[in-house]
Amino acid sequence: MRIGIFGTGGMADALGAHWARAGHELLVSGRSAENAAALANRLGAATGTWPEVAAAADVLLLALPAGAVLDVLAASGPLTGKVLVDCTNDPALTGAPVASRIASASPGAHVVKAFNLAPTDIWQLTPPAWEGRPLSVPLCGDDPAALAAVGTLVRDIGATPVAGGGLDRAALLEATAAFVIGLWFAGEDAQAILAPVG
């Protein structure tokens, strides 16, 4: 696949490294040309402006703060037919879910919420795993082809995709992240609250 990566921070680096190893063609864009060039150099990727990368890519990873992603998309030109992978978290859960806001702002694009539940130090592992358990990655989206493409990208990092339902359920992924990450930062063992249903 031709994957555009928006953002040059931890998530962009961790997921991009897996996809580069898997043989995907990567393009990086960021607000800092210097940071974009440094990440592209590590990944063996090309760089471009937001609209250049959006136009060239089939799939766009939105590895940006939730509060920045809509402005960046507005500057990215037409997104019709693109798969937008939303890994963002908004710890404050302000307003409508980020995934819904992205979908409303990008008519004709196919939004898939994914990769928002685990931290970058786990995504950096090959394969991503904790305590010997490989990671599963829930996906929420409405377009079957987009879900299949992102499912392939999940397998390419060594994880297992899990059908999470339609994009309306992305709100649950965002709320889960906000709640669980809050527990981790408070020093609690968030895994200990998720006992399996008998």
Region from 28-36, 102-110, 148-156, 168-176 binding ligand NAP, contact rule CB under 6 A:
28-36
Please identify which residue in 29, 47, 89, 106 interacts with ligand NAP, judged by CB under 6 A.
89
User: Among residues 37, 43, 41, which one has the least CA distance to residue 20?
Assistant: 43
Region from 21-29, 61-69, 145-153, 184-192 binding ligand NAP, contact rule CB under 6 A:
61-69
Please identify which residue in 54, 64, 150, 157 interacts with ligand NAP, judged by CB under 6 A.
64
- Under the criterion CB under 6 A, does residue 3 sit at the interface with ligand NAP? no
Taking CB atoms, the residue at the shortest distance from ligand NAP is 9
Region from 29-37, 74-82, 134-142, 182-190 binding ligand NAP, contact rule CB under 6 A:
29-37
Q: At a CB cut-off of 8 Å and minimum separation 6, what does 28 contact?
A: 4, 5, 8, 12, 16, 36, 39, 40, 43, 45, 46, 47, 48, 53
Q: How far is CA 83 from the centre of its chain?
A: 11
- How far the first Cα of the chain sits from its last, in Å, is 40
Q: Which amino acid is residue 173, in one-letter code? A: L
> What residues line the site for ligand NAP (CB under 6 A)?
7-12, 30-32, 35, 63-66, 68, 72, 87-89, 116, 119-120
